[in-house]
Amino acid sequence: MATLTTLQIILVIITLTALTISLTWGLWTRRDWARSAVIWLLAVGLIYYAVTILFAVSAQVFAGNKAMSLLQIVSIFLNGLGKFIGVGLVPGLIIYGLVRYTAYFNESLAQKTFVDQTVKYLLIASALSSFFIVVLIFLFTLSESLTAVNQIGLNKMLIGTIWRPQDMDFGLVPMVLGSLLSTFGAIILGVPISLGTAILLAEIAPYAVRETLRPAIQLLAGIPSVVYGLFGMVVLAPLIRQIPVVDAMPPNNGFGLLNASIILAIMIMPTVTSVSEDAIRAVPRYYKEGALALGVTHWQAIWSVILPAARSGIVAAIILGVGRALGETMALIMVVGNSIALPSPINNNPLTLVLSTARTLTGNVAVEINYAEGVHRSALFFTGVLLFLLILGINTFARYLLRERLAS
């Protein structure tokens, strides 16, 4: 304990000496840099010391076998407060003086230029970090999936229709179709409603209605996906089960692509609506004013002028919605039926395909990853790679269509 106390004293002396030297040297050379460094170092030191005292006081109050009296607790807290004030008085006065007399630490032009360049490169690094993180995640997933690619074969996994790990069958076509069909249904159901809601909030609704509807729509984004799954199981499944299907095999049990599409449509509404509304509001108002001045109606101005001008933002909203739908897991596990067979109509009517059970790529990983090992586990990682490439392909295709439309 004596050695530790001596070491602490030495560290405090070294720190105070360094601060004094840096402050004195900064007054004549680095100025604002030294001032900022001293303020931050002293502030961090004070915070660290305050946390240390707080834990020490808490240990005295709560660690005993018997409860202390109120007077003893107040005495301990006052003692800790006195220690903090005694140690922190001088650093606090230094911080106050440095903040109070900022004008004496003005930066030179060279220092300002250096700071600007440093901030610029830091922002560039921050922007690139997201790209590198995505690349690293993809490379990790790809490396984990190489065992399945080497032992099973890429063709068997991409065109195989049977998923039976115990027989070394890892065909991913049923899961790919399940993801695409449920997402397609969600886009068909959710995008028109979301876009109409965005137009209402941005152009038509009065202030009171807009301020009531917008928080309600945004609240949908904060609801856990498991709650949506429960809604699909308890409310939607019994309603869908009432749809009469003659000679259905298997019978219509209410769980399937239709249930999953409705749930996903509700889940993507906040994203598509919010981004689309922002895109519509970003259109310059003189576009609309010019159209109205030419004699068109309000709706004609929205349809012919505002929406085309906001097309890029609306497409971005739909892309985000597609990514949200493709990446959803828990809610779909609860409502889609989790059948590893190819989605197919449940009777001779092709439209009954929407009542078929299915399994998605994300659901396949979530259901089996806990007990998978070896080639099976590697095949599930390849499922993640395929899902990543699928989302990337859809985003690329949507951006290509957008560029072609803008070019024309």
Per residue of the chain (408 residues), what is the pLDDT tens digit?
444 467 667 777 777 777 666 655 555 555 666 677 778 888 888 898 889 889 888 888 887 777 788 888 888 889 989 888 888 888 888 888 877 777 666 666 766 777 788 889 989 998 899 889 989 999 999 999 999 889 888 888 888 888 888 888 888 899 999 999 999 999 999 999 999 999 999 989 888 888 888 888 888 888 898 999 999 999 999 999 888 887 777 888 889 899 999 999 999 999 999 999 999 998 998 888 898 898 888 999 999 999 988 888 888 888 888 888 888 888 889 999 888 888 888 888 888 888 888 999 898 898 888 888 889 999 999 998 998 888 888 878 777 766 655 555
pLDDT of residue 139: 92
What residue spans define the domains of the chain?
Answer: 2-107, 132-407
pLDDT of residue 381: 92
CATH for 132-407 (1.10.472.50, 3.10.300.10, 1.10.3720.10, 3.40.630.10): 1.10.3720.10
pLDDT of residue 182: 92
Q: Which amino acid is at 372?
A: A
Q: What is the largest CA-CA distance in the chain?
A: 91
pLDDT of residue 2: 44
Burial class (CB in 10 A: 0-12, 13-18, 19+), 149: middle
pLDDT of residue 24: 59
Query: Do residues 375 and 148 lie in contact, with contact meaning Cβ atoms separated by under 8 Å?
Result: yes
SS3 170: strand
Question: Residues 6 or more apart from 344 whose CB is under 8 A from it?
Answer: 353, 356
Per-residue pLDDT of 312-366, as tens digits, reads: 888 888 888 888 888 888 888 999 988 888 888 888 888 888 888 899 989 889 8
Q: Which amino acid is at 181?
A: L
Of the candidates 330, 339, 369, 385, the one whose C-alpha atom is nearest the C-alpha of residue 175 is 339
pLDDT of residue 3: 47
pLDDT of residue 73: 87
pTM: 0.72
What are the structure tokens assigned to 309, written together? 């001008």
Per-residue pLDDT of 221-274, as tens digits, reads: 888 989 999 999 999 999 998 888 877 778 888 898 999 999 999 999 999 999
What are the structure tokens assigned to 404, written together? 């072609």
